[in-house]
């Protein structure tokens, strides 16, 4: 059975797809920025450990955060049974649970839902439709998007863990969930890392760092080897500690250029010992 949707009816039916889901929710949208009403609907499923959520987004290959913000990723990753995939060519929008699906022009994006003229087709499986053939459109649509999902890059996967059944009459018990794949946290952490260091080192803008080659440097807090970059002279774990206070003048332990002990003479604003500055400048064209 197919039904044409527009305006508020489209938004309402999409909300029902979330609310009525028991085993599956499929969200396929190039751009994702969840409206509060959809967040509320999805949160009612937070303790349904058997419900599998699949999210596919796309576009903006050079900066995926333009297609899905970190706040939405953080919202999704709290669910116990979820995967998030990426397809740079994605333009279609499709939302489904185990019995209903909407093929639509509307992105899962608050602005689209509030401001754009959008339309969609609701497809619903019924027992009668299985015999009459009216469920065919839904099956064909799902088969197509299943292939799209299989070919998309897996960025995040979290699966529930249950205790083993002692006998055939025992019901399984949810223990916890395990993250199997997580490329998105690394992406957003690195983006945050760059953003904070860019702000804290704004006085260095006159330095020419365009010609820095990818050579070895050293973390000014741990001494571990990292890529030489005076704009990011710490490895990420050390940066997280520094980021609590964000003091660019805080004395650090090592020289970013040589890795030798600096006895507090280096900092985020001065990652290289004075005695090594000329040599670093010549080698890295600073």
Q: Are the C-beta atoms of residues 155 and 181 closer than 8 Å to each other?
A: yes
Q: pLDDT at position 21, please?
A: 96
Q: pLDDT at position 167, please?
A: 56
Q: pLDDT at position 200, please?
A: 47
Q: Are the C-beta atoms of residues 219 and 233 closer than 8 Å to each other?
A: yes
Q: pLDDT at position 31, please?
A: 95
Is 148 strand, coil or helix? helix
Q: pLDDT at position 128, please?
A: 53
Q: Within a 10 A sphere around the Cβ of 61, how many other Cβ atoms?
A: 11
Residues 259, 273: Cα–Cα separation, whole Å:
10
Positions in the chain short of pLDDT 50: 130-132, 196-213
Host H or E run for residue 179: strand 174-182
Token pair 């983006």 in the structure block, residue: 191
Domain 2-186 fold is Endonuclease; Chain A (3.30.870)
Domain extents in the chain: 2-186, 207-284
Q: pLDDT at position 211, please?
A: 41
How far the first Cα of the chain sits from its last, in Å, is 66
Q: pLDDT at position 138, please?
A: 75
Q: The whole model's pTM is what? A: 0.65
Q: Within a 10 A sphere around the Cβ of 127, how many other Cβ atoms?
A: 8
Residues 224, 226: Cα–Cα separation, whole Å:
6
């Amino acid at each position: 059975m197919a039904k044409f949707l527009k305006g508020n009816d489209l938004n309402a039916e999409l909300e029902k797809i979330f609310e009525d889901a028991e085993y599956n929710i499929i969200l396929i949208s190039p751009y994702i920025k969840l409206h509060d009403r959809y967040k509320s609907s999805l949160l009612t499923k937070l303790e349904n450990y058997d419900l599998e959520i699949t999210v596919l987004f796309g576009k903006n290959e050079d900066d995926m955060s333009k297609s899905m913000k970190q706040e939405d990723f953080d919202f999704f990753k709290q669910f116990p049974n979820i995967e998030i995939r990426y397809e740079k060519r994605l333009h279609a929008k499709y939302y489904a649970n185990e019995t209903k699906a909407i093929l639509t022009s509307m992105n899962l994006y608050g602005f689209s839902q509030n401001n754009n003229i959008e339309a969609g087709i609701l497809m619903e499986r019924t027992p009668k439709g299985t015999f009459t053939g009216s469920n065919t459109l839904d099956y064909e649509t799902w088969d197509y998007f299943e292939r799209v999902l299989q070919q998309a890059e897996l960025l995040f996967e979290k699966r529930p863990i249950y205790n083993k059944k002692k006998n055939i009459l025992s019901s399984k018990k949810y223990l916890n969930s395990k993250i199997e794949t997580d490329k998105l946290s690394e992406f957003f952490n690195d983006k945050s890392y760059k953003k904070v260091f860019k702000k804290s080192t704004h006085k260095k803008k006159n330095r020419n760092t365009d010609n820095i080659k990818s050579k070895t440097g050293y973390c000014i807090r741990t001494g571990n080897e990292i890529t030489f970059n005076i704009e990011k002279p710490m490895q990420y774990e050390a940066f997280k500690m520094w980021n609590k206070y964000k003091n660019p003048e805080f004395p650090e332990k090592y020289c970013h250029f040589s890795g030798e002990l600096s006895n507090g003479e280096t900092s985020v604003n001065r990652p290289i010992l004075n005695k090594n500055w000329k040599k670093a400048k010549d080698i890295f064209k600073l």
